[in-house]
Structure 1
Amino acid sequence: MPDLPDRDSEASEASGETGAGVSPPETDAERRRRRARFLHELAEARELRDRVQPRRAKAARLRHAMRMRTFRW
């Protein structure tokens, strides 16, 4: 179908790569910093969800406790 864009061009646009310039490879420190920021934001989101949905948070705590009791080392 000529009116649809190529998959290859969509993938390169989504990853931020353009034909003009390729970004240098990411260093380990940058990756760890980005991962730490993501995990921090994820924890904040979970805390917020637990505050606004206390019943679901309680059920999740109970399920987790049951899993931990039945887990075999």
Structure 2
Amino acid sequence: MTNVQQLGTLGSMGWTVQRLDPDRSRRRLELLAELAGARAVRERKRPQRARTERLRQLIATRRRPVD
């Protein structure tokens, strides 16, 4: 989603993120807000589904090996 450039003087330690253009940022924020709203509506209509999804995420994080 973002463009990342490597700075020449710092090698791999120096990363900088280019700013997105304002229109793209605005559209992205609008899309994220719409997705969050749709998720909230879906969870209100189906609370069991939301509970099930939270349990799946919890089980998935517990199964991951610790580095």
Q: Quick check: TM above 0.5?
A: yes
| Higher Cα Rg, which structure | 1
Q: Report runs of 4+ in structure 1 exceeding 4 Å deviation.
A: none
Shift of 1:67: 1.1
- Give percent identity, aligned residues only: 43
CA RMSD in angstroms comes to 1.5
Gaps of at least 5 residues in structure 2 are 1-19
Q: State the partner residue of 2:64.
A: 71
Gaps of at least 5 residues in structure 1 are 1-26
Matches within 5 A, 1:1-73: 28-72=21-65, 73=67
Q: How many residues of Structure 1 are paired with residues of Structure 2 in the alignment?
A: 47
What is the CA–CA distance in structure 2 between the aligned matches of 1:69 and 1:30, rounded to whole Å?
A: 40
Greater strand share, structure number? 2
What is the CA–CA distance in structure 2 between the aligned matches of 1:40 and 1:70, rounded to whole Å?
A: 31
